[in-house]
Amino acid sequence: MKTIGILGGMSATSTQIYYREFCRLTRESLGGLHSPELLIRSVDFDEIEKLQASSDWDAAGRILNEHAIALQRGGADLLILATNTMHKVADKIVGGVSIPFVHIADATATAILDRGFRRPGLMATAFTMEQTFYIDRLIAQGLSPTIPEAGDRAETHRIIYEELCRDIVREESRLTYERIAQRLVDKGCDCLILGCTEVGMLLNQDNVGVPVFDTTLIHCKAALQAALQ
C-alpha cells in the first residue's frame, strides 16, 4: 500500500471524517486487521479562513504548498487536499511536488458520469459555488452543474462556517439544507454534489430525493484506489 499524504485541518471536523472513511474502506478492501498508510498534515484553519475572507489566496496557497512539500519529504507517495474550497489554489499547492495529486472535483465528476448523470446540483461554500475554479472543472468533464439561488447560497455558506466547521449539527440547519436541495431538484438537477467536505454532516441519501455524491467519501475512495494500485 502506498502512503497517502493528507493536507487537512480545513476544517479539522472534515479531516476526522477522512480518517474514519480511509480506515473503513481499507478494512473493506483488504480485510483482517489492515489499516491505511497515512500521513496527515493538519493546518490551523483559522489562519486559512482569514486569508479566504480577505481574498489573499496567494498567501494561503504558499502556506499549503509548504505543507504539501513537507508531506512529500515525510514519505507520502500521493497527495490529497482534504477540502473542496482550497482546490482554488491547487496549482500553487502542488508547485515543487512530484508525487501524484488526486483532485477532488475530478474524482467527483468521474463518479457522477460513471452512474450516468449529467445535471448535478452543487451545495458548497460560496467560494466553490460562485467562483469558476470548481464549476469549470466539472463542465470540462461534461457535466452541467446548477447552484442555488443567492439567498440559499448565503445560508449554505453560513451554516458551513458558523456551525459545521465548529462541529455543530442543528436539526434546523438540516431542514434548511433539505429545502435548498429540493429547490435544486425542482430546477431539474438529476443528482446532488455535497461540494463541501462538511455538508455530509447534514445531507445524505436518506434525506435527499436524488442520488447524492458526497465529495469527501468519493475523494477517499479514489485516493485509496490509487494507493492500492
Annotated catalytic, 165?
no
- 13 φ/ψ angles, rounded to the nearest 5 degrees: -60, -50
- Which residue in the list 26, 196, 197, 220 is annotated as catalytic? 196
3-state secondary structure of 90: helix
Annotated catalytic, 83?
yes
3-state secondary structure of 42: strand
Q: Which residues pair with 120 in a beta bridge?
A: 191
Under a CB-based contact definition with an 8 Å cutoff, are residues 123 and 195 in contact?
A: yes
State the residue for C-alpha cell 452543474.
Answer: 145
- Which residue in the list 13, 15, 26, 83 is annotated as catalytic? 83
Euclidean distance between CA atoms 159 and 62, whole angstroms: 28
Euclidean distance between CA atoms 156 and 173, whole angstroms: 9
Under a CB-based contact definition with an 8 Å cutoff, are residues 70 and 6 in contact?
A: no
The residues annotated as belonging to the active site are 83, 196
